[in-house]
Structure 1
């Protein structure tokens, strides 16, 4: 028998990890609820045509396709062989696969809105916390199965939604005590750059190349742009664009000089200025910065785009999103504007772990262990344990009568803070011994007072 294993890029999560992940997810959910977002869940798989063509050429390559059921049926073997031949030629074939695991939460959400728009109240604000799958190369902070936490607003063009989403980012990371940079740009700025370089048909080529800037550097980006058909003059203009620096005000002034003569550029600049002028004068102003190198190479973004990175740790983005004013139009329901953001839970976990930011109470499960010291004693302990559980105190009774040492070691391994011991003497006197395992401090407490004890 082969050694058991799991697929590359996936992970098992033990109790300690699950508690830490829940701490992150619950923090995010609570902030979403504060801002009026409602929960939603969609299936793990979608029809293949729902997903394909929505993420750009790079994203489409990472979609996990699912083989149809019944391919081992003799009746379907000829179809399957022909389908495999088509796939080897780079074609999709419905005889082989019609479904895929979802790549993100945004496109399935757009599909949901398109299917249910007649019953929804707009603006519709939803949040979603579910796993997604990408056929990516596994590495630190990048997995093939991972969770996303999304918040989206559809049915509104107001930039106040972008302001609120920026505040949601700031609020969540403040609660988690993670110092972050919240970066914003506008796809209209990038569209104006494409216009300046010969036409909007070059937008995809430009954004895909710029999106790789952090990974391959400016010179490689220029090389890729030349390979994608741009000329030297156009690449020089893009180089000037990527060289823009300074504080937010300085960047706005410099981008006005470069793109302020185009209608699209003016609209993009106005969006950025709106966000900056409507944020509350709090810590978020210090966290948020304009970054014209931010491209987010997904075809559906049309306006403001976001990206969040943690300071003081080597990690990719831990959040991102943007406006997609006609995403539901991809499904035959046009003119429903939307904007959303996403949190990368797995990367956030790695950041909090590396910076040691998980609070101590996150690590604890069971608070109280009742020792098993005999049949009559354990029966009494079980009754008292149920009373504590009714009070919301997490406790358990050791499963069998054993030596003290074995029960103490069990409590130690599970990081249990308190032990309650009821022996024959305590049973006669209606008392128990409570021991604080971290310090060794112990006291004798009447059984009638146990539910009032401060564990």
Structure 2
């Protein structure tokens, strides 16, 4: 029976039109990256597991796709199985010897030493370790079986599982450093950690500050849903090696430039600062509950003030602390007004005031430089990547009326490369959510009408002689940069026309006997149905526009 074709959940096939639209978004983003001076790099699809594991928290580690080792892994595993079989046999035979030496009262210090000395050192080591850790269990089990008078079968039933569990736990897993003997590599979870590894590994070849962009797929073992996939592209831009706040200013401009170029106008770029969140936690006496506090505060728009307070109480935040937060719940006005309110709330927090100072600098710069179509908005509930970011935090939401999560985000991190041994390398970066941007542009009908055009003109095939003349014309059109093709078979006219319609090819050229004799071409506009007879030079001019 033939296998039904399918693909893994959370992955997708893309047809020609979808590929064209995705390429349009990527090329638009790439063009702006380059205008802003970012250089392209690429990293492997998979990294060593220890490069990725432990960098994203427990939840992130759970979503990493691990790659099963091949080749020597199976050879080593088979060798280990053989070793264990031999070890179990040696162990049972040794216990037999012990029983024979002490049929009435068993003592483990009588180990049939002559036989024990003939064992391989690895066998001795494992069996000695097992006896040392399980002596009480072995003695009680064997003594009870000897009294019954049927030792040779009974002890095997009692001890076998215990000994095999010991081997699995102490020998197999430990000797292979947990599961590393099964998987030493993993598909990349994001582009940021591989970028940090790249910077440290190539630090002597890089000029700092280093501005890089990367557009590549990543993989996450997440639950698929709208706008969330297991395989998707990330479009990242980062600067490392500079603490200047002008980098944050440029990234806000870059967001504005990209979304304006995509005709996705009127978006709001939300900004906050990790130092402000830390300052608020300090003021309310909840420094040790920073995560709980910010997670609850982040839900203000969704569940309202009273529910947020309820959640904070459940996390152990005091009533006094919650009362100090009251001005945050009513924080309104433009960027400048909100900043003034925050200064009052954070007057006793040095780190909080530092965060305000950074935001004021960024806002002043953007006010002077102006944005094309986007708006910069302060949002003190914004708390993305709290364990990761150390300064400014960015997020771009989909336009109002479009049910979609964020379509971009990023922020400042002070020690990304420290996880690989390169300390004090500050950086800041942003990411564009390609797949979500695609869905938003589709919903708002913002893709250019001609974006999916693959072929501009197709020549109808009337037969071998006509087809050869058409192919000569097609070749010259291609040399002139026109996307042209010849229908390969001399099929019925209706079939060839339907083919052109289904592929949205805007023009068809007919070259029959009459056209061959006159040396002109009949050009048909498939949208209007109009036909004109044209010379080849006119054909090139018309189709080249």
1:414 paired to 2:503? yes
1:307 paired to 2:395? yes
Distance 1:302 1:78, change over 3 A: farther
- Max Rg structure: 2
Structure-1 residue corresponding to 2:7: 6
Write the distance in 1 (CA, Å) between the matches of 2:499 and 2:332: 57
Q: Structure 1 residues 248-257 or 95-104, which shifts more?
A: 95-104
Write the distance in 2 (CA, Å) between the matches of 1:130 and 1:79: 39
Alpha-carbon offset, residue 450 of structure 1: 3.1
Residues 122-141 of structure 1 aligned to structure 2 (within 5 Å): 122-141=208-227
1:427 paired to 2:513? no
1:108 paired to 2:109? no
For structure 2, the 5+ residue unaligned runs are 82-166
Structure-2 residue corresponding to 1:346: 435
Residues 26-425 of structure 1 aligned to structure 2 (within 5 Å): 26-70=27-71, 73=74, 75-76=76-77, 82=168, 93-178=179-264, 179-198=266-285, 200-211=287-298, 222=309, 225-226=312-313, 228-237=315-324, 240-241=327-328, 243-279=330-366, 280-283=368-371, 287-312=375-400, 313-425=402-514
Decide whether the 8 Å contact of 1:103 with 1:132 is kept in 2: yes
Decide whether the 8 Å contact of 2:67 with 2:186 is kept in 1: yes
Query: Could you report, residue by residue, the CA deviation over 1:370-422 in whole angstroms, capped at 9, with x for unpaired residues?
Result: 11111111111111111111111111110111111111000000000000111
The SS at the match of 2:181 is: coil
Decide whether the 8 Å contact of 1:207 with 1:296 is kept in 2: no
Q: Structure 1 residues 301-310 or 61-70, which shifts more?
A: 61-70
Alpha-carbon offset, residue 8 of structure 1: 1.2
Write the distance in 1 (CA, Å) between the matches of 2:50 and 2:283: 34
Distance 1:82 1:435, change over 3 A: farther
Alpha-carbon offset, residue 355 of structure 1: 0.5
The SS at the match of 1:73 is: helix
Write the distance in 2 (CA, Å) between the matches of 1:269 and 1:158: 16
Decide whether the 8 Å contact of 1:259 with 1:266 is kept in 2: yes
Decide whether the 8 Å contact of 2:519 with 2:535 is kept in 1: yes
Distance 1:101 1:82, change over 3 A: farther
Q: Structure 1 residues 224-233 or 166-175, which shifts more?
A: 224-233
**TM-score normalised by the chain length of structure 2:** 0.77
Decide whether the 8 Å contact of 1:86 with 1:93 is kept in 2: no
Query: Could you report, residue by residue, the CA deviation over 1:315-338 in whole angstroms, capped at 9, with x for unpaired residues?
Result: 100000001111011110011111
The SS at the match of 2:473 is: helix
Alpha-carbon offset, residue 205 of structure 1: 3.8
Write the distance in 2 (CA, Å) between the matches of 1:389 and 1:92: 59
2:529 to 440, 443, 446: 440
Decide whether the 8 Å contact of 1:327 with 1:336 is kept in 2: yes
Alpha-carbon offset, residue 452 of structure 1: 2.9
Decide whether the 8 Å contact of 2:292 with 2:312 is kept in 1: yes
Write the distance in 2 (CA, Å) between the matches of 1:56 and 1:239: 32
The SS at the match of 1:301 is: coil
Alpha-carbon offset, residue 130 of structure 1: 0.6
**TM-score normalised by the chain length of structure 1:** 0.92
Distance 1:115 1:73, change over 3 A: same
Decide whether the 8 Å contact of 1:208 with 1:297 is kept in 2: no
Q: Structure 1 residues 42-51 or 348-357, which shifts more?
A: 42-51
Alpha-carbon offset, residue 51 of structure 1: 2.0
Decide whether the 8 Å contact of 1:242 with 1:293 is kept in 2: no
The SS at the match of 2:490 is: coil
Distance 1:97 1:454, change over 3 A: closer
The SS at the match of 2:406 is: coil
Alpha-carbon offset, residue 241 of structure 1: 3.4
Distance 1:249 1:153, change over 3 A: same
Alpha-carbon offset, residue 244 of structure 1: 2.5
Alpha-carbon offset, residue 190 of structure 1: 1.3
Structure having the higher helix fraction is 2
Decide whether the 8 Å contact of 2:294 with 2:381 is kept in 1: no
Write the distance in 1 (CA, Å) between the matches of 2:40 and 2:295: 32
Decide whether the 8 Å contact of 1:130 with 1:147 is kept in 2: yes
Decide whether the 8 Å contact of 1:40 with 1:127 is kept in 2: yes
Query: Could you report, residue by residue, the CA deviation over 1:263-302 in whole angstroms, capped at 9, with x for unpaired residues?
Result: 1011100111111100145345861100111000342211
Alpha-carbon offset, residue 70 of structure 1: 4.5
Q: Structure 1 residues 300-309 or 209-218, which shifts more?
A: 209-218
